[in-house]
Structure 1
Amino acid sequence: MKELLELFGFIALAQGIAGLLHEFTDLRWGLVQRIDFLDGYGLYASVALVVLSIALFAAAESRKSG
């Protein structure tokens, strides 16, 4: 379970950073800008993904391995 939380945390972090890079540098990578209902809210969604990844990493650290 700890590894799964870390994996989801890494994916959320990567997508959040990609979304932030898209907002500030117009780099076309990641899923946030490709989701239609997030049009205009990409920055907020990217920040939320980064915060979610921090929460997932904290939850993974609180779990015992094994």
Structure 2
Amino acid sequence: MLNGPEWFRIRSIFQKGLSSPLSVKNFLKSSDEIVQEWLVMVEKFNENPYIDLLPELSRLFLERMLK
């Protein structure tokens, strides 16, 4: 793992390419599909207000990172 100045240096290099409008546009469709599927699933949980959604959020973020 990197920390401090070296982490910031590497992050800065990747950030430039990943945050450009074209790069963001390339990921929008797949991101939207994943989030829309997740929202449909979460609506089913409305029946039980005591369900912990944290594990579901973790799954959402993991799936988003892998696609």
Higher percent of residues as helix: 2
Q: Structure 2 length normalisation: TM-score?
A: 0.34
The structure, 1 or 2, with the larger RCO (C-alpha pairs under 8 Å, 6+ apart) is: 1
Q: Structure 1 length normalisation: TM-score?
A: 0.35
Greater radius of gyration (CA):
2
